[in-house]
Amino acid sequence: MPRIVKQKVEFEGRIEEREVVLEGDDLPVWPADARFTIVGAPVTRVDGRERVGGTARYTTDQYPAGMLHGVILRSPHAHARIAGLDVSKAERLPGVRAVLSHLNAPKIRWFNGASWLFDPELRYVGDEVAAVIAEDAAAARDALDLIEVEYEVLPHVLDAAAAIRPGAVLVHPTGNILGGAPERYERGNVEPALARAEVTVALTVQTPDQLHHSMETHGSVAEWSGDRLTLWDSTQHIFGVRRQVAVALGIPMDRVRVLSPFSGGGFGSKNAAGKYSVIAALAARQTQRPVRVIFSRIEESQAAGKRPRSIQKIRLGARRDGTLTAIDYWGLSNVGAYRAFPSPLSGPPKELYACPNVRTDTASVFTHTGPAAAFRAPGYLEATVALECAVEALADRLGLDPLEVRLRNYAEGDQVLERPYSSKFLREAYRLGARSIGWERRTATPAQVVRDGTRRGFGMASQIWGGSGSPPAYAEIRFNVDGTAEVRIGTQDIGTGAKTALTQIAAEVLTVPVDRVRLALGDTDFPYSPLSAGSQTIASCGPAVRMAAEEARRHLIDAAASVLEAAPEDIRLEAGHLTVAGVPDRRISVAELTGRMGNFTVTGRGFRGANPNDVTIRTWGAQFAEVEVDTETGAVTVLKVAAAHDVGRVINPLQYASQIHGGVIQGLGLALTEDHVTDPETGNVLDLGFDAYAVPRLPMIPEIDALAVGIPDPIANNLGVKGVGEPPIIPTPAAIANAVANALGVRITDLPITPMKVLRALGRLE
Amino acid sequence: MPRIVKQKVEFEGRIEEREVVLEGDDLPVWPADARFTIVGAPVTRVDGRERVGGTARYTTDQYPAGMLHGVILRSPHAHARIAGLDVSKAERLPGVRAVLSHLNAPKIRWFNGASWLFDPELRYVGDEVAAVIAEDAAAARDALDLIEVEYEVLPHVLDAAAAIRPGAVLVHPTGNILGGAPERYERGNVEPALARAEVTVALTVQTPDQLHHSMETHGSVAEWSGDRLTLWDSTQHIFGVRRQVAVALGIPMDRVRVLSPFSGGGFGSKNAAGKYSVIAALAARQTQRPVRVIFSRIEESQAAGKRPRSIQKIRLGARRDGTLTAIDYWGLSNVGAYRAFPSPLSGPPKELYACPNVRTDTASVFTHTGPAAAFRAPGYLEATVALECAVEALADRLGLDPLEVRLRNYAEGDQVLERPYSSKFLREAYRLGARSIGWERRTATPAQVVRDGTRRGFGMASQIWGGSGSPPAYAEIRFNVDGTAEVRIGTQDIGTGAKTALTQIAAEVLTVPVDRVRLALGDTDFPYSPLSAGSQTIASCGPAVRMAAEEARRHLIDAAASVLEAAPEDIRLEAGHLTVAGVPDRRISVAELTGRMGNFTVTGRGFRGANPNDVTIRTWGAQFAEVEVDTETGAVTVLKVAAAHDVGRVINPLQYASQIHGGVIQGLGLALTEDHVTDPETGNVLDLGFDAYAVPRLPMIPEIDALAVGIPDPIANNLGVKGVGEPPIIPTPAAIANAVANALGVRITDLPITPMKVLRALGRLE
């Protein structure tokens, strides 16, 4: 059933909106009261044994025969020009097969044209200078020391505020603000509203650089066969990497196959091809050998991306009853030397509350530090700290319950946007979370002293994020003669459990056990699927898998009708058997039927079309934190986080909880311990590797209550799912910061909230 | 459009005919006068550079990291029982990782249940005793010598005639005739017709064992990832191997992926999984390391299969004008120790001539020699030697032109079968071939002396073979954003050029150059396709590729209609551009359109359904040979072979010619030089490897005129193709034997026609 949609498409650098005819997906949304046996069940990971047992082969586990090892020489300076480069000694070292640099590599545009694959101007400590390809990693590393580089050291700027001052050193000739100028959004009229407000609060908030530190570092293994490249890449978007690499090499896309059957985390830092991907491909073509370029943990700290640190200022105006009348928000994001897209800091201030007067001024600022990358809820997390701390400060000022203030300003979609929300069950999330944490135990600040030197506090924060998926996505399904089914889809499971959830969807439709359905992904030979980021994998791919399975189901029923000599409308598919309605002994199992059909294969193909264009699709949530603060040591202990989110239908409650746990823990890290530290003089990264950089350790993990609203979205897509990837990280830092403020009666708005900062806030340190 | 077909299907060992609903392929057949630009053009191999340049990766080129090497210990006796087996010394040899034998390997049925993967009873010299898996091939071979086997030697039978005598040693307990008893076919009443015939001729004909000697030997490389097996296999049927291996290992089919992106020939010997495939898989599972088991050239001679030698007796009855009144045919095929299906010797005698009285008695006989395998036109080649030599002997006896005799007995389908032929252009083949060879130069035997001691002769033979393909087959096509298209189909290119021909079909429909379409095959992750044997690949897969491309074409047109703001019926796709009819400047290229559609992918899916059930589909042909025989040395020189075949539409004349050349050369080998020699006492193979076994060498290759009738079949499938794999080998030996008889005036019917046999026939040797 073809239909026409408007689609923003990119062609030769232009973005155009065009109407394009698409196949349609006319499946009705699974109703809220549908009775399922597999969807919604706590199915354990279909690839859990592989992942835990060590048999899963990640990119870093690929060792094609004859593989060479590539390592990268990185800039020791925050800003320099390569004035001289002599690689001849390195080239002569036994075992070295190639040295790539700007002297001999093709000139390939990088970072949206802002730089080159090998750029003689170096813009951060860690920027790529050259790559050595050798028989083994030790020889390659030895050769790095033999490369002679003459650096012309240039002045640098590391701080975002400094970088936007007139006369600042320029990181790029187009200026230090990404896109040339700050972005402004305004509705209503903020200044007079603030002037007239019965009460105002103002906060300055800072959030740190946060490193993704995926368990599998970034990297690629490249192998050519004839004019065709196979690239194993630890990525969140195999099709994107394929396109980027094809364009970089100037070859047709059909010559590139990208594989990523297993991937050890990305969190947004693997949304695109890395320089390593193209370096591996170029080196493999040049040497006619497979080439591996995989980051060390140190490189992962230097050059793999980060959540950019932010400086934010927020002013709220309100009536005495807590009704917001104005939000004035200003935010800078220090995106380092390279970044394609600005941080979407303005999202929460624009949408979270039904405030008539809102202004946001935001900018992403280039500095001579490591490049920023998307990190789980980019911008939204940072801005939520500012907004939700300010809201709670407002409640405190007014002596109101912060939850009451939030409910008073609850926004329907058409109050803040042109289009209504497809679903918004944030009230339910507030209710579930408040009940779990025991919100009624919260007292006005400063909160109660629980024992000598220890204060307890409660805080909360709201969450908003997209949930629309990123169509299109395609899937196909095929039965084998023995009744096993295979689903193929070109998505990737970056550790989120997408493989398991998608398998459940297919198994549910086909009424067969999960272990009779094998879902294969991570291969650009499979049907197109989008980026696994933005919480969009299941909302993109799930509906396509369902549609493919439904088509296969109809195919099974038609075939069974013939074999059982009945009309298709009289055939029921239940529990892996096809039965003639009312004639219980006229039945055949799926496996017997596919066996009888022989090589006449039961197939199905599914498509996830464009989103409905009359609604806005968002996820919602609220988290409530209970903390204890040791006023002697400044140590903050998070006792519990109650996390309640409206992400539409929950396909798998175990995986839902797993995402909640992961998000809360990562958010807790940002709130309390993580900060990527750069020497303010030299721009050197000071906390390389896990030794120095403080991701949360096990004893820090609180009780986490993962609560799901669980109401299917009635419009978003045929499953009623939205997405749970980013939501749980978004409110955690704000909730913890609010709980600390509640405990102490002083507000610390410079995250992470380290013991030193606590003691300083309490006046116990200078 | 679902339709119902009767389909013979196998399920749990039973073969049943059931009606099953299928998707339909309602595309009209491409008309005979269609104007094509790519189909029918002499496109060079799309993978020629890879194959010739050494970058194509065949099974034998797979070296996954950590791979172990497996070698097989083979029986030195034609018939023995393993009375004792001690592998302990072998196991202790450094580098040895496993030794598999009947003592420890799972009991896996083999050869249709007639034997086991490791059978303690050994039935030919070369039968598998044990396998050693070691770090390198040298260690594995050394370990073979350390395996201590006590053989209880048993009596054996090597000769087919001896094996069917009462009291013969039994190769299998069920008897020495495959299937238990000879097969008989009869129409009319042969004995009285022979008795009443105005003239009769009788011939006894023998054809030799012929080895396939594929350039890539048989073998597999197995690698497990978790519970999932990847098997590279040099095979003609990736899906068949997958199923066989899954059944052998007792695991679901979805756990096995078989890859064969390049394969170096098969000729029928790689139609199924080998023991090597399962041994590699078992050993890899046991050692948790990839395992390679690839035949040496010696093993290729011993254990990879052969065309079985035949003994045939034929009597023809005819009227004086050459009209056939009776054909009485008897044939034995010596299929060695193992064979699943009998040789179809009866095909040509039943169908080639409109004779009212035909009887065939055929049997495939087990002996203690190497197993037979299908070999390019199994049975048909052998029986054609008997039938076509007899027809020419009859013509000589009657003083008639052999071509006239054949035309007098020309058979329409309903004269010899229940159903008419979909097409039969054998008369055209006769005409083309006769003109090319200059058939009018033929004189009655003995033919003219051209120079002292040299006689020249002419001979011909007819060809019949199936052409129906082997549905189903499935294909899919997908456009990339840059306008390149990718076709995926689970067939295999065993060297025939299937990849090129299928690419041409897609490119023709899509009106884009061949290099903008990449066809991927040889992977069971792609859509199901059948066995590449029986000349059926293009007739099976081609129509599915066309259908997929037609669907993609419609998809392009619909999208273009939207972008160009016109009705789909007004859009033309020509030369890679979509144009609004009558508005030449309203146009967009395929690449621009797919670019605009972004990730909304143009796709198509194709299906090759069952054959029409009211016709019989056959290919036809005739070959004419001109030879010189040196009466002093007995040497036969083939000067020219004119080969004219009706195989339906020719997709690629270069590849058509290539198949003709290959078939004629292989047929010439069987006619003149090839004979797989077994010691009649011990059953030892005496001509191991290429040194001893005489495939034709370059100086022996005659001029070969590859002539195509080229008329599309109007019914067979949507392309009008039949298939050219086997046809060209079928008539070559008979045509050469007839030409030698024409030259000498004496008929040699024991092939190969060696110089010794020529001299003996001329009475110059005892």
Contact B125, B74 (CB under 8 A): yes
Query: Where does A430-472 show beta strands of DSSP type E?
Result: 449-451, 454-466
Are residues B705 and B729 both part of a single domain? yes
Contact A740, A749 (CB under 8 A): no
Domain boundary residue, one of B242, B262, B294: B294
Q: What is the pLDDT of residue A577?
A: 97
Instruction: Pick the closest to residue A123 from A305, A370, A372, A373 (CA basis).
Output: A370
Find where tokens 């002083």 sit.
A746
Are residues B236 and B287 both part of a single domain? yes
Task: Tell me the two tokens of residue A121.
Answer: 């101007």
The H-assigned helical ranges of B581-725 are: 590-597, 653-672, 689-692
Inside any domain, residue B181? no
Please report which confidence band the pLDDT of residue B267 belongs to, taking 50, 70 and 90 as the band edges: very high
Q: What is the pLDDT of residues B387-429, one digit of tens each?
A: 999 999 999 999 999 999 999 999 988 888 989 999 999 999 9
Q: What is the ipTM of this complex?
A: 0.89
Q: How far apart are CA A56 and CA A135, in angstroms?
A: 25
Of B67, B253, B530, the CB nearest to A482: B253
In the sheet that holds A577-580, the strands lie side by side as A571-574, A577-580, A583-589
CATH number assigned to the domain comprising residue A550: 3.30.365.10
Are residues A258 and A110 both part of a single domain? yes
Q: How far apart are CA B562 and CA B738, in angstroms?
A: 65
Evaluate if residue B9 carries a pLDDT over 90: no
Of A226, A474, A488, the CB nearest to B525: A488
Evaluate if residue B5 carries a pLDDT over 70: no
How many Cβ atoms are within 10 Å of A593's Cβ, its own excluded?
24
Are residues A404 and A540 both part of a single domain? no
In the sheet that holds B473-479, the strands lie side by side as B517-520, B485-488, B473-479, B603-608
Are residues A447 and A554 both part of a single domain? no
Q: Which of A493, A503, A599 to mutate to test the interface with B (most CBs of B within 10 A)?
A: A599
3-state SS class at A28: coil
Annotate A590-646 with DSSP letters as a single string.
Answer: HHHHHHHHTTS--EEEEEE-PPPTTSB-EEEEEEEEEEEEETTT--EEEEEEEEEEE
Are residues B120 and B247 both part of a single domain? yes
Task: Tell me the two tokens of residue A339.
Answer: 């970044």
Contact A499, A429 (CB under 8 A): no
Q: How far is A575 from chain B (nearest CA, A)?
A: 19
Q: What are phi and psi of A567, to 5 degrees?
A: -80, 145
The phi-psi region of residue A319 (left if phi > 0; otherwise alpha if psi is between -120 and 50; otherwise beta) is: beta
Instruction: Pick the closest to residue A12 from B162, B593, B542 (CA basis).
Output: B593
Of A12, A480, A527, the CB nearest to B253: A480
Taking contacts as CB-CB distances below 8 angstroms, the residues of chain A near B57 are 225
Q: What is the pLDDT of residue A451?
A: 79
Contact between A559 and B21 using a beta-carbon 8 Å cutoff: yes
Partners of B707 in the β-ladder:
B644
Inside any domain, residue A166? no
Taking contacts as CB-CB distances below 8 angstroms, the residues of chain B near A527 are 478, 601, 603
Q: Which of A600, A602, A607, A608 to mutate to test the interface with B (most CBs of B within 10 A)?
A: A600
CATH number assigned to the domain comprising residue B113: 3.90.1170.50
Q: How far apart are CA B61 and CA A632, in angstroms?
A: 68
Q: How far apart are CA B84 and CA B104, in angstroms?
A: 14
Estimate the crossing angle of helix B732-744 against helix B380-398, to 10 degrees: 30
B592: nearest CA partner in chain A: A11
Are residues B658 and B735 both part of a single domain? yes
A102: amino acid identity, one letter:
H
Inside any domain, residue A412? yes
Evaluate if residue B350 carries a pLDDT over 60: yes
Task: Tell me the two tokens of residue B534.
Answer: 């029986």
Evaluate if residue B75 carries a pLDDT over 60: yes
Count Cβ atoms within 10 A of the Cβ of residue A414 and give its class: 0-12 exposed, 13-18 middle, 19 or more buried: exposed
B6: nearest CA partner in chain A: A597
In chain A, count H helices and then E strands.
20, 31
Structural domain of B118: 62-154+218-294
Are residues A340 and A455 both part of a single domain? yes
Taking contacts as CB-CB distances below 8 angstroms, the residues of chain B near A523 are 525
Q: What is the pLDDT of residue B340?
A: 84
Inside any domain, residue B162? no
Q: Which residue ranges of chain A lie beneath pLDDT 70?
A: 1-25, 445-447
Domain boundary residue, one of A608, A640, A664: A608
Contact between B55 and A225 using a beta-carbon 8 Å cutoff: yes
Task: Tell me the two tokens of residue A327.
Answer: 């939000």
B518: nearest CA partner in chain A: A254
What is the tally of structural domains in chain B?
Answer: 3
Instruction: Pick the closest to residue B549 from B490, B491, B508 (CA basis).
Output: B508
Report the b/e string of A276-301 with b at 16+ CB within 10 A. bbbbbbbbbbbbebbbbbbbbeebbb
Q: What is the pLDDT of residue B441?
A: 94
Q: How far apart are CA A107 and CA A99, in angstroms?
A: 15
Q: What is the mean pLDDT of residues B645-661?
A: 98
Evaluate if residue B445 carries a pLDDT over 80: no
A225: nearest CA partner in chain B: B55
Q: What is the pLDDT of residue A11?
A: 42
Q: What is the pLDDT of residue B7?
A: 55
Q: What is the pLDDT of residue A216?
A: 97
Q: What is the pLDDT of residue A13?
A: 45
Of B47, B474, B484, the CB nearest to A252: B484
Taking contacts as CB-CB distances below 8 angstroms, the residues of chain A near B248 are none
Annotate A670-711 with DSSP letters as a single string.
Answer: HHHT----B-TTT--BS--HHHHS-PPPGGG--EEEEEE--P
Give just the sign of the alpha carbon dihedral B265, B267, B269, B274: positive
Are residues B403 and B392 both part of a single domain? yes
For B351, the enclosing helix (H) or strand (E) is helix B347-351
Q: How far apart are CA B70 and CA B140, in angstroms?
A: 7
Evaluate if residue B719 carries a pLDDT over 90: yes
Inside any domain, residue A174? no
Beta strand A324-336 pairing with A358-366: parallel
Contact between B561 and A603 using a beta-carbon 8 Å cutoff: no
Q: How far apart are CA B527 and CA B38, in angstroms?
A: 24
Inside any domain, residue A176? no
Contact between A18 and B596 using a beta-carbon 8 Å cutoff: yes
Inside any domain, residue B209? no
Are residues A358 and A337 both part of a single domain? yes
Give just the sign of the alpha carbon dihedral B564, B566, B567, B570: negative
Distance from the Cα of residue B450 to its chain's centroid:
38
Are residues A463 and A475 both part of a single domain? no
Contact between B600 and A20 using a beta-carbon 8 Å cutoff: yes
Q: How far apart are CA A716 and CA A593, in angstroms?
A: 35
Inside any domain, residue A184? no
Instruction: Pick the closest to residue B686 from B694, A469, B631 (CA basis).
Output: B694
Task: Tell me the two tokens of residue A513.
Answer: 């056990």
Tell me the CA distances in angstroms from A60 to A56, A57, A291, A293, B257, one per residue in order.
11, 8, 12, 9, 22
Domain boundary residue, one of B263, B294, B325: B294
Contact between B597 and A516 using a beta-carbon 8 Å cutoff: no
Instruction: Pick the closest to residue B302 from B208, B379, B373 (CA basis).
Output: B373
Task: Tell me the two tokens of residue A547.
Answer: 């549609």
Are residues B557 and B674 both part of a single domain? no
Contact A259, A523 (CB under 8 A): yes
Contact A391, A463 (CB under 8 A): no
Contact A461, A623 (CB under 8 A): yes
Q: What is the pLDDT of residue A21?
A: 53
Beta strand B473-479 pairing with B485-488: antiparallel
Instruction: Pick the closest to residue A382 from A314, A330, A451, A310 (CA basis).
Output: A310
Taking contacts as CB-CB distances below 8 angstroms, the residues of chain B near A601 are 472, 474, 527-528
Q: What is the pLDDT of residues B55-66, one digit of tens each?
A: 899 999 999 999
How many Cβ atoms are within 10 Å of A311's Cβ, its own excluded?
20
Tell me whether the omega of the peptide bond preceding residue B446 falls within 30 degrees of 0, making it cis: yes
For B335, the enclosing helix (H) or strand (E) is strand B324-336
Rounded to 5°, the CA angle B332-B335-B336 comes to: 130
Contact B620, B429 (CB under 8 A): yes
Q: Which of B404, B418, B726, B766 is catalytic?
A: B726
